[in-house]
Structure 1
């Protein structure tokens, strides 16, 4: 794994919304841009919850080829900041199951959209990635995302346990990472490389120092962070 791939994946993991570009049916030949929230599925693919009557949904139904642009939030110089364009084909997710539960943890206000407002889940199957890490750091990448071994019952159980029994540890993670502390943080997602906290309406990703591939390794990493004085460096981040 190259440092460029790691940087691109970190950007994908650490953001939670992007600019979706579809091919306009109302104005053929023109791209149509929309801002959409996303979280990642078990394969590391962005999952969207979009209305059936929205223009971008109608565009995707006619032509599934699209792109999702993800950039660093709060960047002072957008030209020097990292950004990732995912060239993808969109597919409707007819039986979202555990993926719906994961999405609603990230975006609880969306829980009523699915039925009340005729929304449905779609996932973006990446074809290729274009990563720009700043001036002159421009790369085409064929693979960025990693599968998440925990999506489903394993993740749900770990999240529920941490939120129910370890609020002090979560508060320590917030302080350790220098995240906003105006609202209580809630653990919403875990992957092999880190975890997501939701603070108010914002979602923040924090990296483990080394990959975790089992719930036992996740537990050990979370315990270590609960007693840490500084956030540990991420394995491979400097290479």
Structure 2
């Protein structure tokens, strides 16, 4: 198991348990369920209300953890990852909005109010359990994604794939996941892979090696398309 395995597992999840230190209850742990997306450095980004208990806790003490796990019949045997770090309101509230809404379009209504803001967790420690006996602490410096240019290129890649290559996206769903779908839309692409909404399903596709820019992404996507035709 490696730091990349822990990062890939976290990328497969869209919801987790956020634990904060309660301001009201004198530091007792307080758990809540929250959706999240990862930024291009694999840092969790959450959209939370200033009225929420966990937000009040974060403002008083930024130390948090986020637990995400792979669902399975035996919860004790399922893979899971816990990101421990410091959480703070993002200075740029515009940057994460488009990416977040592609994954959670229902959140668009939240912006009609004035108390929802994006917060980001800066990892300090990662606990990764890949299965029975596969238990690791992962250094934060090794967990974060390698430097890449995809943050500035993602929107253009997604627009191109969804406009000109939806047939390839549908082929990926059939070939790599055995899912026949009438529509497929790419939601996000990162150094480790990309996500596609196939009808009501969200499917994750991993790259065989890190992708660092649009040219790398093109080569990887073309290779996958060729694999679908072989």
Q: 104-113 or 14-23, which moves further after superposition? A: 104-113
Q: What is residue 35 of structure 1 aligned with on the other side?
A: 33
Q: What is residue 45 of structure 1 aligned with on the other side?
A: 43
Q: Unmatched 5+ residue regions in structure 2?
A: none
The one-character-per-residue Cα deviations of 1:147-203 (angstroms, maximum 9, x if unpaired) are 462444311000011001111101011111226545632101111221111245653
Structure 1 179/114 Cα, relative in aligned 2: closer, same or farther at 3 Å?
A: farther
Report the secondary structure of 2:131's partner residue.
coil
Aligned with 1:79 (options 76, 85, 104): 76
The one-character-per-residue Cα deviations of 1:73-112 (angstroms, maximum 9, x if unpaired) are 3x12111111111111101013133321111111111123
Aligned residues: 228
The one-character-per-residue Cα deviations of 1:183-236 (angstroms, maximum 9, x if unpaired) are 6321011112211112456533211122222211211211221221499xxxxx
Q: What is residue 164 of structure 2 aligned with on the other side?
A: 165
| TM-score normalised by the chain length of structure 2 | 0.90
Q: What is residue 153 of structure 1 aligned with on the other side?
A: 152
Q: Find the aligned partners of 2:228 and 2:198 in 1 and give their Cα distance.
A: 21
The one-character-per-residue Cα deviations of 1:38-94 (angstroms, maximum 9, x if unpaired) are 111132210000111111111111111010001003x12111111111111101013
Report the secondary structure of 1:228's partner residue.
helix
Structure 1 9/152 Cα, relative in aligned 2: closer, same or farther at 3 Å?
A: closer
Query: Contact conserved, 1:52 with 1:119, CA < 8 A, in 2?
Result: yes
Report the secondary structure of 1:19's partner residue.
strand
Counterpart mapping for 1:175-194 below 5 A: 175-178=174-177, 180-181=179-180, 184-194=183-193
Query: Contact conserved, 1:170 with 1:185, CA < 8 A, in 2?
Result: yes
Q: Does 1:105 align with 2:102?
A: yes
Q: 190-199 or 163-172, which moves further after superposition? A: 190-199
Query: Contact conserved, 1:16 with 1:203, CA < 8 A, in 2?
Result: no
Deviation at 1:130, TM superposition (A): 0.8
| TM-score normalised by the chain length of structure 1 | 0.87
Q: What is residue 133 of structure 2 aligned with on the other side?
A: 136
